[in-house]
Amino acid sequence: MSAVKRIALKEAKQEAARSRLDGVTRPEGGAWITSARENAMARLLEMGLPGRRDEYWKYTRPDPLTQAAVPTAAVFEHDDTPVFEEIDRLRIVFVDGVFDAEASDSLALTGVEIERLESAATSDIHWAQGLYGALEERGQNPVERPLAAFNTAMASEGVLIRVTGRPERPINLIYRHKSDCSDVIFHHVVRLEDGADVTLLENGPAAARLNTVMEIEVGAGAGFHHVRAQGRDHERHAVTHMFARLAADSVFKSFTLTANGKLTRNECVVELCGDDAVAHVAGACLGDGDFLHDDTVFVTHDAVNCESRQVFKKVLRNGATGVFQGKILVKAGAQKTDGYQKSQSLLLDGDSQFLAKPELEIYADDVACSHGSTSGAIDDEALFYLRSRGVSVVDATDLLTLAFLAEAVEEIENPELAEELYGRLDGWLTRRRSR
Amino acid sequence: MLEIKGLKVELEEEDKQILKGVNLTVEPGKVHAIMGPNGSGKSTLSYVLSGRDGYKVTEGSATLDGQDLLAMDPEERATIGLFLAFQYPVEIPGVGNMTFLRTAVNAQRKARGEDEMSATEFLKVIRAKAKTLKIDAEMLKRPVNVGFSGGEKKRNEILQMAMLEPKMCILDETDSGLDVDAMKLVADGVNALRSEERGFLVITHYQRLLDHIKPDVVHIMADGRIVKSGGPELALEVENNGYADILAEVA
């Protein structure tokens, strides 16, 4: 691309950002958050909105996520028990982005302080002051993520969680969707003090269109465990970003299940800043028909003897599309790095497609990094073996599909939570049979 | 019980005839052995009977208790009592051995209109059967055949056979890759299943398995046909003189 063309393209993106913000009411708040929002706004105006010509958006059209008009999404009616219902947890419920006090539990839990962004924003100083937007800003380099800056500038709802101990129950953010045209922005901040440990659950479709940012600061020796089940509403659009920074000896584990949805882009940006830290990011997705799911992961190793692991599995049929963009960046000096990346798709028919861009960029000389990306159909040999034992072709296919996804689900350490998600996967496959 | 008449089979992909008119009847309670040199069509016969893709039957029939096997899906064949112990058991990552066996047992029961086996009952039965085959709890928990040694895979085949209690068992080179001790264990497992109602078709290269699983009838297969049948002494003849003499004799 010529320099002239590049400048013209940048200007067009900036213009798109300006016109997108034109006439939009900006949230109000106290001094600390106003300054964070203004900084994010400046970042966004400089970067501009993502466009179809951007390399980082080569496989996924950003338009439905960036445009002013909300693409509507019908609410998915079902009478299944919501996921995590059997788990003893602290519930924080939002309906189309609005906090539902009645459906939520009291926000009191030993070892953790939980506050809603809306109330925290009115104060002039807050513990989240140095964090809100800060990890997002760090995550803008070397790849721009304008929709995350947009989120920081515009979000008025979310939760701020400061973990000081080891709360005995998980915290569950529940996102209900009731309106066909809801357009929701959440910005969460989680800070784990040294040695703290928490499990955070998220579930539900949230809105017709969703933009979520979660910033997670993991202190030395702390553990963050995250399990997310994105809602099943077929027409929903969502972009989510997780920005995590890990101190020495800390652990970060995140798993996401995505079933259905017209467009989902889940970005995860992890920075291993302290020695001996561990980050595992995993996901399983199931798509049927008008479905695009994009996992974009960027892991930076900037300390010695850290481990990172990415395991993403996608089951696609009837023209569904899966995207994986995963990068491991090992900075100079990040010796003894153990980086692993696996992205696989199971294509249940010839109409579906999987687009993968695995990347390694390594500036240290004593590291072990590997990546593998595959795309394939159900294994005929395994299918025949199962059938020869009397298992019907439909049951055998489902069994092998679940087996394919198992490697990702196994990344969830808590067996009770893993069982919940297996139940979801099984349910999805069972429902597909009657069609 | 198993009746194969004039069975002619080609490979689907290429115009190559593998079976050129096989006739064979296995009676209930009997053990028939098929021996023969490489490429004679022994394994093809086992695959065609169990319903594997890639083969085209051009002539002949195969029935189990009068039911047309060749018209059935592999799972239906299993349900009416046909079992193939694979020469190369397939590894299935992500599916626990126990889950696999329970799914198979209950699928067959359901297809036959019987009640499914409860988890407790299943566990009781499988533990007892696994013990005699020296299959430990760890092996039952692991994914199907993943990381199993050659001997473990074959014992796992016999365990499946013991759990599914088929009428007609086909063992495709179950002795390949086994040391003497493992072969003894597998043979004991098979012998424990021998009964008046059950038929066996044992496919093997070597006579040694037949020292442990005593056959009633031995067939020699060559170039897609059964060229000679006889008693157990036929296996000894092969052991001593190789196939060349027999093949020369029938040529």
Nearest one of A262, A250, A249 to A294, comparing CA atoms = A262
Q: What is the pTM of this model?
A: 0.91
Nearest one of B178, B181, B193 to B31, comparing CA atoms = B193
Chain A neighbors of B79, CB-CB under 8 A = 390
How far is residue A80 from each of residues A85, A145, A232, A427, measured CA to CA in Å? 11, 36, 11, 9
- Closest partner residue to A387 among B74, B94, B160, by Cβ? B74
- DSSP for A324-374, please give it: EEEEEEE-TT-TT-EEEEEEEEEESSTT-EEEEEEEEEE--SS-EEEEEEE
Q: How far apart are CA A320 and CA A362, in angstroms?
A: 33
Find tokens 């040529």 and name the residue: B251
Q: How far is CA A245 from the centre of its chain?
A: 15
> Do A388 and B74 count as a contact with CB atoms less than 8 A apart?
yes
At residue A434, the pLDDT reads: 58
CB count within 10 Å of CB B149 equals 11
Structure tokens at A199: 């499990």
Do residues A364 and A333 touch, judged by C-beta distance below 8 A?
A: yes
Global ipTM:
0.96
User: What residues have CB less than 8 Å from A415, skipping those under 6 apart?
Assistant: none
- Closest partner residue to A389 among B93, B143, B164, by Cβ? B164
Do residues A229 and A83 touch, judged by C-beta distance below 8 A?
A: yes
- DSSP for A186-210, please give it: EEEEEEEPTT-EEEEEEEE--SSEE
* Whole-number percent of chain B with pLDDT over 70: 100
E strands within A260-348? 263-272, 278-288, 292-301, 307-317, 321-330, 338-347
∠A331-A333-A339 over CA atoms, to 5°?
A: 55
Nearest one of A244, A197, A204 to A222, comparing CA atoms = A197
Chain B's closest residue to A404, CA to CA, is B94
Nearest one of A435, A182, A179, A422 to A289, comparing CA atoms = A435
Cα-Cα-Cα-Cα torsion B244, B247, B248, B251, nearest 10 degrees, comes to: -160
pLDDT tens by residue, chain B, 251 residues: 999 999 999 998 888 899 999 999 999 999 999 999 888 999 999 999 999 999 999 999 999 999 999 999 999 999 999 999 999 999 999 999 999 999 999 999 998 899 999 989 999 999 999 988 888 888 898 999 999 988 899 999 999 999 999 999 999 998 888 888 888 888 998 999 999 999 999 999 888 888 899 999 999 999 999 999 999 999 888 888 888 888 888 76
Nearest one of A162, A172, A231 to A199, comparing CA atoms = A172
Chain A's closest residue to B160, CA to CA, is A389
Q: How far apart are CA A386 and CA A376, in angstroms?
A: 19
User: What residues have CB less than 8 Å from B31, skipping those under 6 apart?
Assistant: B194, B199, B200, B202, B213, B214, B215, B216, B217
Chain B neighbors of A387, CB-CB under 8 A = 51, 73-75, 78
At residue A432, the pLDDT reads: 82
> Do B93 and A391 count as a contact with CB atoms less than 8 A apart?
no
CATH of domain B2-95+167-250: 3.40.50.300
pLDDT tens by residue, chain A, 435 residues: 788 988 999 999 999 999 999 878 889 888 899 999 999 999 999 999 999 889 999 999 999 999 999 999 999 988 788 899 999 999 999 999 999 999 999 999 999 999 999 989 888 888 999 999 999 999 999 999 999 999 999 999 999 999 999 999 999 999 999 999 999 999 999 999 999 999 999 999 999 999 999 999 999 999 999 999 998 889 999 999 999 999 999 999 999 999 999 999 999 999 999 999 999 999 999 999 999 999 999 999 999 999 999 999 999 999 999 999 999 999 999 999 999 999 999 999 999 999 999 999 999 999 999 999 999 999 999 999 999 999 999 999 999 999 999 999 999 999 999 999 999 998 888 888 755
- Closest partner residue to A390 among B78, B86, B92, by Cβ? B78
Q: How far apart are CA A404 and CA A292, in angstroms?
A: 19
In A112-227, which residue ranges form alpha helices assigned H by DSSP?
A: 117-120, 134-138, 146-154
At residue B20, the pLDDT reads: 95
Nearest one of A362, A355, A358, A360 to A372, comparing CA atoms = A358
Query: Using beta carbons and an 8 Å cutoff, which residues of A are at the interface with B?
Result: 380-382, 384-393, 395-396, 399-400, 402-407
Where in chain B are the domains? 2-95+167-250
